[in-house]
Structure 1
Amino acid sequence: MPVLTGIAHVTLSVRDRDDSVEFYRDVLGFREYETTDDARWLRTTCRHPSGLLLCLTQHRDHFNARFDPRHAGLDHLAFSVSSPEELEQWERRLDLLEVEHTPILRRDHGSLLVFEDPDGIQLELYCPARPAD
């Protein structure tokens, strides 16, 4: 079987591209990389220092409803963090920025923080559990 080497990019449909660019920049550290607006959409690709590309697309004919995970497609988007301590730093950052979030949820498979972007897309910051010795 051919090999996948990772995720090249993620594209999210958003209600307001500029609001979404601001959120992903201010909260998660993405930076604008390229903007391509045309008759179909307003699209900005953002790059994270980790290398992940995130495309934020506002379709010109969108129906302006919030995201609903019950529809076929994306349910949520999880970003990995390197350690439980890093996850705690993220919790403090979200508090500082007044971004509503869950407390750190500890599971057998790992720990996570859950919050939403301006369109109601569920985002997670996830730290996998360390293997037992």
Structure 2
Amino acid sequence: MPSFTGIAHLTLSVRDRDASVRFYRDVLGFQEFQTRDCGEWRRTMCRHRSGVVLGLIEHKDHFNAVFDHRRVGVDHLAFTVSSSAELDAWEERLTELDIDHSPVVHAEQGRALTFADPDGFQLELYCEDSA
């Protein structure tokens, strides 16, 4: 079987590209590196220092609906953090930024914290338990 080496990027459809770019930049530290606007859509590609690449695309004919994880498609996006202390620091940061979030909870083989982006897309910060 042919192989691949990883995920190149993930692109999210958003209602307001500019608001989403600000959120991912200001909250999670992504930096814009490419923007393209055409008649049908506006897209900005963002990169995090971890190497994760995220596209944010606003379609001209979007339906203005909020994300619903119960529909077929992506349920949530989880980012790995390096330690429990780092996860606790994220909880403090989200509280300081007045972003609604879950408390840190025990998840399968780790701890997790969940919150949502401006479109209601579920995001998770996850730390594996130390073995």
TM-score after normalising by structure 1: 0.94
- Deviation sequence 1:76-120 (CA, Å, 0-9, x none): 000000111110111111111111101101134110100000000
For 1:42, the equivalent position in structure 2 comes to: 42
Q: Percent identity?
A: 60
For 1:99, the equivalent position in structure 2 comes to: 99
For 1:13, the equivalent position in structure 2 comes to: 13
Return the letter of the residue paired with 1:23.
F
Return the letter of the residue paired with 1:16.
D
Q: Is the 8 Å Cα contact of residues 32 and 45 (structure 1) preserved in structure 2?
A: yes
Write the distance in 2 (CA, Å) between the matches of 1:87 and 1:8: 25
Classify the secondary structure of the residue corresponding to 1:64.
coil
Matched, 1:71 2:65: no
- Deviation at residue 41 of structure 1 after TM alignment: 0.4
For 2:33, the equivalent position in structure 1 comes to: 33
Write the distance in 2 (CA, Å) between the matches of 1:102 and 1:67: 18
Write the distance in 1 (CA, Å) between the matches of 2:68 and 2:107: 25
The unaligned stretches of length 5 or more in structure 1 are none
Q: Is the 8 Å Cα contact of residues 10 and 53 (structure 1) preserved in structure 2?
A: yes
Matched, 1:52 2:38: no
Write the distance in 2 (CA, Å) between the matches of 1:63 and 1:5: 34
Write the distance in 2 (CA, Å) between the matches of 1:78 and 1:49: 16
Classify the secondary structure of the residue corresponding to 2:37.
coil
Write the distance in 1 (CA, Å) between the matches of 2:109 and 2:5: 23
Write the distance in 2 (CA, Å) between the matches of 1:108 and 1:70: 20
Return the letter of the residue paired with 1:29.
G
For 2:129, the equivalent position in structure 1 comes to: 129
The unaligned stretches of length 5 or more in structure 2 are none
Write the distance in 2 (CA, Å) between the matches of 1:116 and 1:98: 12
Q: Give RMSD over aligned pairs.
A: 1.0
